[in-house]
């Protein structure tokens, strides 16, 4: 039996496009003092951010994390967006997020395999030619960092320079975004923007999600 043979690859190159305008930007309400300082430094430098998150996507992630906060269960999902370049440097946009039913504990979370069709349906329903530019998950009450498990996930699956991990702590009202670095991982400043909108009809999808404690 011959093995599957790869005949060729078509890469997707970053689209040359200006970042969201400054007037559309804003910091996340839950940034720590240090994260807010880093945000202000990027904004005042005239450089663009490495990461822009639509207010819609941010709201979905916050809502998802907050919903399970009373049970202290972690939640998780994918960030969908695009990789773009502008004047020789690359930045990432997060336009939408998708998730599905989860198997969760206060310190672990995975997609429920039986619920993957729901996740795939939402990927198809995203309404644009997405790239999974990163993932989000919550640390209810544990502050925002990448655990050993998170770091393994980041190294195994999200190892491109534009891949981001967003960690949100709904109990301490903290949020941070991270990328891999030579030292392990670094926090990267991000901005929210009104200039990115989901490409699908908006509805409250997290209401019908089940998070099963395991």
Does residue 107 interact with another protein by CB under 8 A? yes
Task: Select from 40, 128, 157, 184 the one that contacts another protein (CB under 8 A).
Answer: 157
Under the binding rule (CB under 8 A), the answer on residue 76 touching another protein is: yes
Query: Any idea how long the chain is?
Result: 214
Contact status: 6 vs another protein (CB under 8 A): yes
Cβ-contact 76, 135 below 8 angstroms = yes
| 31 contacts 39 by C-beta, under 8 angstroms | yes
178 binds another protein, rule: CB under 8 A: no
Rank residues 49 and 162 by Cβ distance to another protein and give the closer one: 162
Q: Least distance in Å: CB of 178 to another protein?
A: 12
Name the minimum Å distance from CB 98 to another protein: 11
Residue found by looking up tokens 């994260």 in the block: 35
Residue in 202, 195, 155 with CA at minimum distance from that of residue 59: 202
In angstroms, the CA 133 to CA 81 distance is 6
Q: Can you tell me which of 47, 120, 141, 143 binds another protein, judged by CB under 8 A?
A: 120
Query: Which range binds another protein by CB under 8 A, 18-26, 27-35, 49-57, 108-116?
Result: 108-116
8 Å CB contact between 195 and 24: yes
Using alpha carbons, select from 162, 191, 208 the residue that is nearest to residue 52: 191
- What are the structure tokens assigned to 88, written together? 């020789």
**List of residues contacting another protein (CB under 8 A):** 1-12, 74, 76, 83, 107-111, 113, 116-117, 119-121, 123-124, 129-132, 135, 137, 147-150, 152-153, 156-158, 160, 163
């Amino acid at each position: 039996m011959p093995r599957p043979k790869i005949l060729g690859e078509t890469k997707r190159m970053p689209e040359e496009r200006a970042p969201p305008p400054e007037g559309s930007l804003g910091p996340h309400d839950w940034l720590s003092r240090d994260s807010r300082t880093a945000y202000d430094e990027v904004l005042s430098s005239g450089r663009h951010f490495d990461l822009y998150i639509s207010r819609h996507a941010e709201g979905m992630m916050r809502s998802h994390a907050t919903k399970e906060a009373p049970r202290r269960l972690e939640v998780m999902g994918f960030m969908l967006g695009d990789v773009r370049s502008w004047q020789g440097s690359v930045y990432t946009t997060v336009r939408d997020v998708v998730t599905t039913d989860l198997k969760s504990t206060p310190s672990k979370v995975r997609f429920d395999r039986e619920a993957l069709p729901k996740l795939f349906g939402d990927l198809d329903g995203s309404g644009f030619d997405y790239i999974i530019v990163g993932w989000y998950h919550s640390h209810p009450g544990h502050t925002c960092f990448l655990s050993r498990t998170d770091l393994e996930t980041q190294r195994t699956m999200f190892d491109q320079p534009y891949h981001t991990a967003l960690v949100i702590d709904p109990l301490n009202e903290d949020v941070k975004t991270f990328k891999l670095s030579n030292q392990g991982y670094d926090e990267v400043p991000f901005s929210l923007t009104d200039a990115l909108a989901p490409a699908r009809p908006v509805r409250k999808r997290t209401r019908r999600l089940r998070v099963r404690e395991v």
